[in-house]
Amino acid sequence: MTRLIRAAERCFALALRIVPRQYRFQTTLLLARATVSFLVRTAAYQEQSIKNFHRPDEIVLFLLLNALTKNGTRFDLEIVVKGYQHFERAYSQGKGVLVTGHHAALTLLMVRFFHDKELQPIVITPDHSLRVPGTSVAAETIQPSHMFLVHLRTKLRAGKLICAMPDRAEHHGQRTIEFATPAGPVIMAPAIIEVAARCGAAVLFTEVRVEGRQLLAVITDCASSPADDASAIIADFISFVRDRTAAANGASNSQTNTNRFRLLSLLAGRR
């Protein structure tokens, strides 16, 4: 089955080269909406849908775009970004920026957005062969290891842009915490945010979704939290994830308020 899926992905990627590069994203978006019913039973779809972060058509779009990238079919990409001024302000300070979001698949496309702006994003990922989406360019990465937090600190202190997703599929001892969202429980490893706070780096939150025929991203900052207060930043991240999943699931914003006292107790118990 794996060979069959890989062959199908390659055939799809090769076939789409007939389409001019500037139209490939829109073509793929139309195909994603038309093929949801055919792909919902695949393991790749199920892996994404269990998180309940994206609509079915968004998951299929991610899978198809990923197939294009893996098989060398390039595509142009335009993302409308709301809140980019938060990034510009943070990056101009030269203290490093950590752009983070939950594992909503399309959020990986922010790596392409920053790449197109020649900002040389560095991605925390176990995928050593990760490409910038829609290009043949190998992304610079930090691989998980016993030294990866040291590497992260070094890059942030050098003023670099780091992209990461701190939520995890399962708990890792005392290194993770869990919180509820309208989409279900989310497990996260706060360590990367804690390192960023100790470095004095800016921490921003982001998410990418499909709106109509375009990609719409949001970037928010932690304006209400001191830059060196990791617990407050983590609380803001949890609030951000709750807000975004509530919006995605049609839930009331009143369900997304963060209980900071409970969070601080949870963090204290992790140490």
Using one digit for the tens of pLDDT, what is the confidence trace for 63-113?
999 999 999 999 999 999 999 999 999 999 999 999 999 888 899 999 999
Torsion angle of alpha carbons 8, 39, 168, 232, nearest 10°? Answer: 120
Two tokens, residue 36: 């949801």
Q: Answer whether 97's CB lies under 8 Å from 161's CB.
A: yes
Is pLDDT at 271 greater than 60 in this prediction?
no
- Give the global pTM: 0.87
Q: What is the mean pLDDT of residues 186-210?
A: 94
Q: List the single range of 1-5, 127-131, 168-172, 261-265 with lowest mean pLDDT.
A: 261-265
Confidence at 223, pLDDT banded by 50, 70, 90: low
- So what's the pLDDT on residue 251? 37
Confidence at 265, pLDDT banded by 50, 70, 90: low
Element (H, E) at 64: helix 56-70
Tell which wins on pLDDT, 174 or 231.
231
Q: Mean pLDDT across the chain, nearest whole number?
A: 88
Is pLDDT at 269 greater than 60 in this prediction?
no
Contacts 24+ apart (CB under 8 A), 11-16: 12/64, 12/67, 12/68, 13/67, 13/68, 13/70, 13/71, 13/72, 13/73, 14/71, 14/73, 16/68, 16/73
Q: Answer whether 100's CB lies under 8 Å from 166's CB.
A: yes
What is the phi-psi region of residue 134: left when phi exceeds 0, alpha when psi lies from -120 to 50, beta otherwise?
A: left
Is pLDDT at 268 greater than 80 in this prediction?
no
* pLDDT over 90, % of the chain: 68
Confidence at 255, pLDDT banded by 50, 70, 90: very low
3-state SS assignment for residue 19: coil
- So what's the pLDDT on residue 226? 76
Q: What phi, psi does 250 have (nearest 5°)? A: 70, 25
